[in-house]
Copies of this chain bind each other. A is one copy, B any other.
Amino acid sequence: MTSLLFTHATVVTMDPAQPLLQDAYVSVDGPKITFVGTARPFGDYDREIDCTGKVLMPGFVNAHTHVPMVAMRGYGDGNDLQDWLNHYIFPVEARWDDRAAACCADLGLAEMIASGVTCIADMYMRTGVIAQRVAAAGISANLSVGGVLFSDTFDPGTDHDCIALRELTEQWHGYDDGRILADASIHAEYTSRPAMWDWTAAYARDHGLGMHVHISETRSEHEACIARHGRTPIQVLDDHGVWDGRAIAAHCVWTTPEDWAVMAAKGVSAVHNPMSNLKLGSGIAPIPAMRKAGVNVCLGTDGVSSNNCTDLFGDMKLAAILHNGANCDPLALLPGDALSMATVNGAKALGRHTGVVANGYAADLILVDFSRLNLTPCHSVISNLVYAAHGCDVVMNMARGKVIYENGEFLTLDLDRIRREVEGYALPKLFG
């Protein structure tokens, strides 16, 4: 078990008891934080990191991603949504194999790690491969299968996604003291059927899994559900018990006040994906109103093909300013609200004891170099983090007590090998 002491740190804790500490000490033993305060703790440490000029904060929780889609960055951009999906994204997705998925997962994880992410909720195909790559990379992940069912007949014994969920649960749920969790999932209301919702909700309940669903991302999808069922996606899935456990609802752009009441009552977290929602023309999610209605709102980048990067600093800044502009209210969302969405709210959504720098929490920590030009001068640490910092200002990423990225170097990933695999194998395989 390795111990480490951060010294002389400006610490953004996300802990209401001591939100901002100057010239502080944070100690880490094994995977956990063991001390946070301004007096040096007793004892010797295997390593000390002098944080002068840097800000120590919780690593980001990217609560809605599709990691291997990094392979499709910018592919088919400039087409309308249906052409983009049908002629670009879906044909490529049919060509995945495990080897391509593995190196593209590595590439996506590397980009996230370098920009300060320590925890993700990912939904995609070949989740066993993604689990292996997450296990090797060192971060935490809630993994889910993009459960799709277009057929009206449903046999959980033979359905591909049900088999994949069972395999994921058996092989990976709880791995490394819960670093990897399986979440049950329904891709979306419009891509599945009631029999599958019932089975998935029961499976989650029986195995203590969370749930991950795309909800009301586009207006047409939301309205088609009402036309079909007389109720919104949140409501119709609620009728089938989908929200009875911990749950993540991604996008929620067109959700209604009635939906928010269900979400608040059932503890369904909304994932705001502002970059993706704007780029794809989905709309602007009513985040301030959802927060007022008591919904836990966290933050995600969505897949790279609809963002087109995984720098959660970008989504955090956009969340912090977009709703001010859309509501003509400069106080609609405060910078501290956006920072909570990117950290502690995400941790809650994923059912994890992280996102806070406090004794007993997971040692998921990043260091941001505040000597950078774009962070000079600093009148407010929080303002600088939310409005002015970029992923490239992250100089260290520690996941569960292990330094996995430092000063541009990856300690768990072989970037040269990843690049060779992506360029030499995955891209020719996927794009011909």
Interface residues of A (CB under 8 A from B): 70-78, 80-81, 84, 107, 110-111, 114-115, 219, 274-275, 277-284, 304, 307-311, 314, 317-318, 320-322, 324-332, 334-336, 373-374, 376-380, 383-384, 387-388, 390-393, 419, 422-423, 427, 431
Contacts and interface: CB of A to CB of B under 8 A. Distances in A.
B377 A324 contact: no
Contacts of A384: 73-74, 308
Contact of A380 (B77, B275, B376): B77
**Which secondary structure dominates where chain A touches chain B?**
helix
B330 A280 contact: yes
A379 B72 contact: yes
A328 B219 contact: yes
Given A77-B383, A377-B427, A379-B73, A278 B422 contact: no
A327 B379 contact: no
B78 A334 contact: yes
Contact of A387 (B77, B80, B387): B77
**7 tightest Cβ-Cβ pairs between the two chains A and B:** A278-B325, A74-B383, A281-B330, A278-B321, A308-B387, A392-B392, A281-B324
A377 to B, nearest CB: 6
B335 A77 contact: yes
Among A281, A304, A377: residue with most chain B CB under 10 A: A377
Contacts of A310: 374
Choose among A84, A314, A422 the residue with the greatest number of B CB atoms under 10 Å from its CB: A314
A383 B378 CA distance: 33
